[in-house]
């Protein structure tokens, strides 16, 4: 049994690192064009571009580690099954549960490493790369507007913008903080920012939305006002307008920072589905490795096909489906549909159930 376990660990380790190299290189290639453009067309110092590339690696590893775990186990067990080695193990009374237990433990270790990666290393590297990009870029009003985060650059306002495309905005929520009154909320489907030259301010044009307006008879109460077009001028805090200031996005925060941010926003009765979803996403995607190991073992034995191209195609299909479910869960979570955590863990739960059921069926038949 010891020899068999060592053999399986050796085969899967070799295939894991090979898959990790292939997947990481494939994802790096897509970003090299953008990095090369900075050097060739925009004259950016190659040393800064090198730093950007270095900080990009942890982000890629957060995806390629679980992907490699799946492809490695699927390819190895697919070959063992097609060569009838699984049948030979059963004929000699070898228990597949015991034989594969070290692989499950290895998957758990990968998941624990991924938690550290997603909680500590990745947020810091992503934040560092964005600071480099901001220092490289030319100052524009859009430098103050970051999609997918609560923007506190403007005095007395907290702003959340779901999507920014140049000067076009989508999914805008503006919270005006008032000491003696409840927080005022402005919501708009679309909008755009208008630069005010030589002024430390930005003018927002909001389209199709609602605004909380004070009741003339009772200013502490609001009534909803529907609007087609609404203009709002936001003054930039001088302390925050410096080149050195840059606010963290949810994916650039560690677990503790996300909890603290949710607590701060909660004081003003502001919901933060983006922060809650990101917190659970980090945990969920970290445990994708152990889920994919179980899936890889089960699918490898179940499919009984030895062709590597077929096994690799199956692995890609599983990976695409997993991340589509994760993206769908994130989209639902951002809309505030409760419970937010459930949507982020759903892909892991579904894939784990399928993997366990397949493994039980193949191990006991």
- Report how many helices (DSSP H) and strands (DSSP E) the chain contains, helices first: 10, 6
Write out pLDDT tens, residues 131-173: 777 665 434 445 446 678 788 777 788 888 888 876 788 999 9
Write out pLDDT tens, residues 109-125: 999 999 999 999 999 89
| Residues 193, 331, 325, 110, CA torsion sign | positive
In this structure, are residues 242 and 250 in contact, taking their beta carbons and an 8 Å threshold?
A: no
* HSE toward the beta carbon, residue 269, CA cutoff 13 A: 8
**pLDDT given at position 195:** 65
**pLDDT given at position 1:** 66
| Residues 97, 100, 103, 107, CA torsion sign | negative
The DSSP output letter for 241 is S
Q: Which two tokens stand for residue 200?
A: 């430390």
Measured distance CA(137)–CA(133) in Å, rounded: 6
The string over 200-223, giving b where at least 16 C-beta atoms fall within 10 Å of a residue's C-beta and e elsewhere, is eebebbbeebebbeeeeeeeeebe
Q: To 5 degrees, how large is the angle CA 18–CA 23–CA 24?
A: 100
Other CB atoms within a 10 A radius of the CB of residue 316 amount to 14
In which residue are the tokens 């889920």 written? 291
**pLDDT given at position 348:** 94
Cα 339 to the center of its chain, rounded Å: 18
Write out pLDDT tens, residues 200-255: 667 889 999 999 887 777 777 788 889 999 998 877 654 444 444 567 888 888 99
In which residue are the tokens 């060592």 written? 6
Q: Which residue has the higher pLDDT, 23 or 7?
A: 23
Report the chain's mean pLDDT, rounded to a whole number: 82
φ/ψ (deg, to 5) at 172: -105, 130
Least confident of 40-49, 330-339, 341-350: 40-49
3 state SS of 135: helix
Cis peptide before 66 (omega within 30 of 0): no
Residues facing residue 122 across a β-bridge? none
Q: What is the pTM of this model?
A: 0.69
Write out pLDDT tens, residues 62-72: 999 999 999 99
In which residue are the tokens 């499950």 written? 104
Least Cα distance to 185 among 157, 150, 216 occurs for 157
Q: Which two tokens stand for residue 347?
A: 């892909």
Other CB atoms within a 10 A radius of the CB of residue 271 amount to 14
* HSE toward the beta carbon, residue 308, CA cutoff 13 A: 5
Residues facing residue 256 across a β-bridge? none
């Amino acid at each position: 049994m010891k020899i068999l376990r060592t053999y399986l660990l050796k085969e899967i380790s070799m295939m894991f690192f090979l898959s990790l190299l292939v997947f990481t290189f494939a994802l790096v290639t897509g970003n090299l064009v953008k990095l090369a453009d900075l050097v060739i067309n925009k004259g950016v110092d190659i040393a800064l571009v090198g730093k950007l590339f270095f900080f990009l690696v942890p982000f890629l590893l957060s995806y390629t580690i679980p992907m490699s775990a799946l492809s490695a186990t699927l390819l190895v067990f697919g070959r063992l099954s097609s060569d009838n080695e699984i049948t030979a193990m059963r004929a000699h009374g070898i228990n597949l549960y015991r034989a594969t237990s070290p692989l499950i433990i290895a998957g758990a270790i990968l998941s624990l490493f991924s938690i550290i990666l997603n909680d500590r290393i990745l947020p810091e590297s992503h934040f560092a790369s964005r600071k480099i990009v901001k220092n490289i870029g030319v100052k524009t009003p859009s430098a103050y507007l970051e999609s997918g985060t609560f923007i506190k650059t403007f005095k007395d306002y907290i702003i959340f913008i779901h999507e920014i495309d140049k000067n076009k905005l989508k999914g805008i929520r503006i919270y005006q903080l008032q000491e003696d009154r409840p927080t005022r909320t402005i919501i708009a489907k679309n909008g755009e920012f208008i630069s005010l030259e030589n002024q430390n301010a930005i003018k927002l044009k909001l389209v199709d939305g609602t605004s909380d307006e004070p009741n003339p008879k009772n200013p502490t109460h609001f009534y909803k006002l529907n609007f087609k077009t609404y203009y709002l001028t936001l003054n930039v805090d001088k302390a925050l307008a410096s080149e050195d200031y840059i606010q963290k996005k949810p994916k650039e925060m560690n677990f503790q920072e996300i909890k603290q941010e949710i607590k701060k926003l909660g004081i003003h009765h502001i919901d933060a589905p983006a922060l809650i979803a990101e917190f659970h996403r980090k945990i969920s995607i970290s445990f994708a490795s152990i889920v994919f190991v179980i899936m890889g073992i089960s699918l490898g034995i179940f499919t009984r096909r030895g062709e590597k191209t077929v096994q690799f195609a199956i692995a890609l299909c599983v990976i695409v489906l997993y991340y589509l479910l994760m993206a769908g869960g994130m989209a639902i979570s951002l809309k505030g549909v409760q419970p937010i955590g459930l949507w982020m863990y759903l892909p892991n739960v579904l894939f784990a159930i399928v993997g366990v059921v397949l493994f039980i069926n193949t191990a006991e038949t």
